[in-house]
Amino acid sequence: MNTLARAGEDEWKLPQHAYVVVYDERETELLTIYDCGAAQKPPSARVLGNLVRVKADHELENTVTGYVVRMREESILEKQDDDHWIIVAE
Instruction: Kindly report the pTM of this predicted structure.
Output: 0.91
Q: How confident is the model at residue 36 (pLDDT cuts 50, 70, 90)?
A: confident
Q: How many angstroms separate the CA atoms of 57 and 40, rounded?
A: 23
Residue 38 pLDDT grade (very low, low, confident, very high; cuts 50, 70, 90): confident
**Under 8 Å CB-to-CB from 12, ≥6 apart: which residues?**
2, 4, 5, 6, 45, 76, 77
